Amino acid sequence: MKALILQNASHEGPGTIENYLKENKIPYTIVDLAKKGYKIPDASDYNALIVMGGPMNVYETDEFPYLIEEEKIIKKAIEKNYLVLGICLGAQMMAKALGANVTKGKTKEIGWYDISLTEDGLEDKALGLLGEKVRVFQWHGDAFEIPSGAVRLANSELFANQAFRYGKRAYALQFHLEVTEDIIKNWLKHGEEELKPLKGIIDPKKIVEDNKKYIHGFEERGRIFYKNLFKE
């Protein structure tokens, strides 16, 4: 296996996904699309595609024209039955590439929230081992519909669609399975302006406190998911 990782923001790297790939000697290439002069290698040289999150939405193609090329790569990878994993924006782009709508949510999820696995989610070879209810880290305001032919794997109290699988090898996760405690702290700094109007709704101090409660168990669940996802 060889993985191509598309990064949509310089501060939103692959985190624990990269750690797992390194530990298991799975070769990978990271392309930071936020940097000028980026070059996307020929995707046919890879058989796994990982698309990370970012602060933009899927329709901001005028400001972020690389989203158009990125969507084409996602669509082709799914058609060729590559292993595909989309995180947050990456999941929304997968939904869009498969013909589903992505819209602004009624609220934002930023911090630690419970998701519940559906019956299909509990039966899934990769996600099902995480448990019926899982506390995950979120940072998003947009929502995706489930594409035709895909299987909904998880939901939350605020968002009906938290994960789906298309075919056997394409997974879209709205939540951020890749985060570490340091990554979250860095995001809180980057996201100060976004958090200001949410004062009284989203509490950054509580997020920092919750990190200590949940991050270690969350990272372990990530390892379980990656182990089952990246099985040849």
Per-residue pLDDT of the chain (232 residues; tens, 9 = 90+): 999 999 999 999 999 999 999 999 999 999 999 998 898 888 889 999 999 999 999 999 999 999 999 999 999 999 999 999 999 999 999 999 999 999 999 999 999 999 999 999 999 999 999 999 999 999 999 999 999 999 999 999 999 999 999 999 999 999 999 999 999 999 999 999 999 999 999 999 999 999 999 999 999 999 999 999 998 6
pLDDT of residue 75: 97
Its pTM stands at 0.96
Q: Tokens 């750690």 correspond to what residue?
A: 19
pLDDT of residue 146: 99
Q: State the CATH number of the domain containing residue 84.
A: 3.40.50.880
pLDDT of residue 15: 98
What are 172's strand-pairing partners?
Answer: 86, 164
**Cβ count near 148 (within 10 Å):** 9
**Cβ count near 39 (within 10 Å):** 5
Task: Convert 94-158 into a string of H (helix), E (strand) and C (coil).
Answer: HHHHCCCCEEEEEEEEEEEEEEEECHHHHHCCCCHHHCCEEEEEEEEEEEECCCCCEEEEEEECC
The CA-atom distances, in angstroms, between 13 and each of 36, 53, 134, 146 are 17, 8, 23, 25
pLDDT of residue 232: 61
pLDDT of residue 36: 87
Where in the sequence is the domain holding 78, given as residue range(s)? Answer: 3-229
* CB 114 within 8 Å of CB 135: yes
Q: Tokens 């302006």 correspond to what residue?
A: 193
Rounded Cα–Cα distance for residues 202 and 14 (Å): 24
Q: How many domains does the chain have?
A: 1
208 Cβ contact list (under 8 Å, min separation 6): 184, 185, 188
pLDDT of residue 44: 85
